[in-house]
Amino acid sequence: MSDQQFIAYMEAFQAAIEHAAACEPCQNDQPCAAGDPIHADFCAKQDAWEDRQRRERRNERRRAKRRADSRFRIARHAAWQLVTYGRWENGRPAATDEDVIRAADAMYGGYLKSGPITRSEAATALAAVLGN
């Protein structure tokens, strides 16, 4: 992504403060004919920049949510495999968080671009499969 937009915003900011520094009406909130478009340009570029920042934060939150959902499904599938086909001891599945991490890596390693399943994700997945 180009930061031409940020540069334009900063240039407009610079132009607005330079004009205001030399212009008494503009300093007194009575924009002159020359200052008016300079201030309007600065406000428009600031709005555009802030809109973009908001959009990017929203998109980043959505991506993080999708990533977390996808990692949860992977961990849950690994936990389900272990509980369904793995060893049981004393009426309970013997699978541990570490087993879930290893199984998820074996089954989906290539899809786990943000790193192996964590202990906490594995524990959540095991609990979901066991209905806890």
Least distance to Zn ion, CB of residue 21, Å: 10
Instruction: Rank residues 30 and 84 by Cβ distance to Zn ion and give the closer one.
Output: 30
Least distance to Zn ion, CB of residue 60, Å: 39
**65-87: b (≥16 Cβ within 10 Å) or e:** eeeeeebeebbbbbbbbbbeeee
Instruction: Rank residues 26 and 103 by Cβ distance to Zn ion and give the closer one.
Output: 26
Residue closest to Zn ion, measured at CB: 35
Residues that bind Zn ion (CB under 5 A): 23, 26, 32, 35
* In the block, residue with structure tokens 């390693």: 109
Distance CA 71, CA 86 (A): 21
Instruction: Rank residues 3 and 29 by Cβ distance to Zn ion and give the closer one.
Output: 29
Secondary structure element (H or E) that encloses residue 8, with its range: helix 4-21
Least distance to Zn ion, CB of residue 24, Å: 8
Least distance to Zn ion, CB of residue 44, Å: 17
Instruction: Rank residues 35 and 93 by Cβ distance to Zn ion and give the closer one.
Output: 35
Distance CA 101, CA 69 (A): 16
Distance CA 127, CA 24 (A): 68
